[in-house]
Structure 1
Amino acid sequence: MAKNFGFLVCLLIMALDVAAGILGIEAEAAQNKVKHLKMWVFECRDPSNQAFKLGLAAVILLSLAHIIATLLGGCTCMWSKEEFNKASANKQLAQIRIILAIGLSLLIIGTVANSKSRKACGISHNRVLSIGGILCFVHGLFTVSYYVSATATARDLSRHQDPFATQA
């Protein structure tokens, strides 16, 4: 049953990341449907309520996927480059937080740009939501790889510590 549980966790993580990616791309499409005036890097755009809702849902799903993978795969923290260089490949793979931080930041920037109740002018945020959505797909691939690697490492460690464990 434990093997099926791991497979289901991987499917859940991928489903959440794919859904977040699709919602991010759909939010970009909804944002592009509103009226806007662009001059060089500055842009005046009406906020899109639909883009706000889709972007917020993408942020929540991406965060949920990362939390599930981190809690079930084991949390690994490194504080220096020296620790990172000495760490195993599994611990280095755990540093998917960089992809999460970039993707989540882009989705939040795009969502906040659509949260205002009035017309806003400022620096253009072209393709921020769609790039954040694409990074959700990349996050899903790395997160599943990390989860599989972390659970395999934990299983191997438990077998080496228990001399009476049966080989599967």
Structure 2
Amino acid sequence: MFLLQAPLHHHQQHLRHSGYGCRRNPSAGAFAEGVAAMVLLSIVHVLANMLGGCTYIRSKQDFNRATANKILAVAFLVLSWIFFGVSYSTLMIGTLANSRSNRFCSLPHRWFFLIGGIFCLGHGVLTSAYYVSAIASKKEDKENAQQENPSNRSRA
């Protein structure tokens, strides 16, 4: 019986003392790794968007004329922005939980890092897919423009 009451008593003491301040020590290593992860995530996102170019569909007519690669590029671009927002936010929350401030002591930083890492991996897959489909879309657009304009065939 005593063995069952000991964890409960320890939990009650922890709840009683947790209101007075942070009992855990923030990890400087985890803070630095969180900042590095956010910086790398931002660099990857900016590079993928710059190298992939500006792929967009302005109207329903553009959508009807768009190739499958262009539609995929736009879909991957939108999804990569969503994944970027979620992963950056969760990494930031996890990083702030490991800062020296006591304001963020109650955050379960370990789960935020895990969720942020999973979304970072998803973001990497989506940005790679965006880059490939955007390049393929540009190549198709170039080929279609050459077929429509016979004066450009002499270059090929």
In the superposition, the TM-score normalised over structure 1's length comes to 0.62
- Distance in 2 between residues matched to 1:111 and 1:121, nearest whole Å: 11
Aligned to 2:105, the other structure's residue is in SS state strand
- Distance in 1 between residues matched to 2:88 and 2:39, nearest whole Å: 9
2:94 is the counterpart of 1:94: no
Residue 146 of structure 1: how far off its partner (Å) = 0.6
2:138 is the counterpart of 1:159: no
Residue 122 of structure 1: how far off its partner (Å) = 2.5
Report which of the two has the higher share of strand: 1
Kept after mapping to 1: 8 A contact 2:94/2:109: yes
Higher RCO (CA < 8 A, seq sep 6+): 1
Residue 116 of structure 1: how far off its partner (Å) = 1.8
Aligned to 2:82, the other structure's residue is in SS state helix
Residue 126 of structure 1: how far off its partner (Å) = 3.9
Equivalent positions of 1:69-108 (< 5 A) are 69-76=48-55, 88-95=71-78, 96-108=80-92
Larger radius of gyration: 2
- Distance in 2 between residues matched to 1:52 and 1:141, nearest whole Å: 25
2:110 is the counterpart of 1:131: no
What amino acid is aligned across from residue 67 of structure 1 in structure 2?
V
Q: CA RMSD in A?
A: 3.0
Aligned to 2:106, the other structure's residue is in SS state strand
In the superposition, the TM-score normalised over structure 2's length comes to 0.66
2:25 is the counterpart of 1:46: yes
- Distance in 2 between residues matched to 1:134 and 1:70, nearest whole Å: 21
Among all aligned residue pairs of Structure 1 and Structure 2, give the percentage whose two residues are the same amino acid.
37
What amino acid is aligned across from residue 103 of structure 1 in structure 2?
S
Kept after mapping to 2: 8 A contact 1:73/1:150: yes
Kept after mapping to 2: 8 A contact 1:90/1:146: yes
Structure 1: gaps of 5 or more residues? 1-36
In structure 1, the partner of 2:42 is: 63
* Number of positions where the alignment pairs a residue of Structure 1 with one of Structure 2: 124
Residue 155 of structure 1: how far off its partner (Å) = 1.2
Residue 120 of structure 1: how far off its partner (Å) = 5.5
Kept after mapping to 2: 8 A contact 1:46/1:120: no
What amino acid is aligned across from residue 89 of structure 1 in structure 2?
L
What amino acid is aligned across from residue 142 of structure 1 in structure 2?
L
